[in-house]
Amino acid sequence: MVALDIFLLYSPGPRQVREWHLTLPTGSTVAQAIAASGILDEFPELAAGRLSVGIWGRKTSLRHELHQQDRLEIYRPLRVDPKIARRERFNKQGVKKSGLFANKRAGAKAGY
């Protein structure tokens, strides 16, 4: 039986990344890797909610079978919708000071 080398990554907060190197038997699933890592003991808030996981940046399910050198990632839920955050940043900067409106020629229309 060949063992799989798997990397498990989780970011509990901004600019913080935790990494685990796991050696699992062939045929292991994402759920088995998470259980073997002990991450749920260290971060109990993950056990409370539904986990969002991915392999190399692509979302997958807990039943997915892992392959050699997979990078398993556990994602945090977003606190703010990205569209709303962008809109708020734009409003905070001021309409006349950003993007196409930053350099306006005298007498020209906005954005030209």
Encode pLDDT of 75-88 as tens digits: 988 788 889 888 88
The encoded tokens of residue 7 equal 């990397």
Amino acid, single-letter form, for residue 86:
R
**Could you give the 3-state DSSP secondary structure of residue 88?**
helix
Q: Does 107 reside within a domain?
A: no
Greater confidence (38 vs 96) lies with 38
Residues of the domain holding 54: 3-75
CA–CA separation, 103 vs 101, rounded Å?
6
Q: Does 66 reside within a domain?
A: yes
The encoded tokens of residue 71 equal 């990078």
Record the pTM: 0.68
Q: Does 41 reside within a domain?
A: yes
Highest mean pLDDT among 31-45, 58-72, 90-104: 58-72
Q: Give me the mean pLDDT over the 22-42 stretch.
A: 90
- CATH code (residue 20): 3.10.20.30
Report which DSSP code applies to 84: H
Q: Exposed, middle or buried by CB within 10 Å (0-12, 13-18, 19+), for 46? A: middle
Q: Does 39 reside within a domain?
A: yes
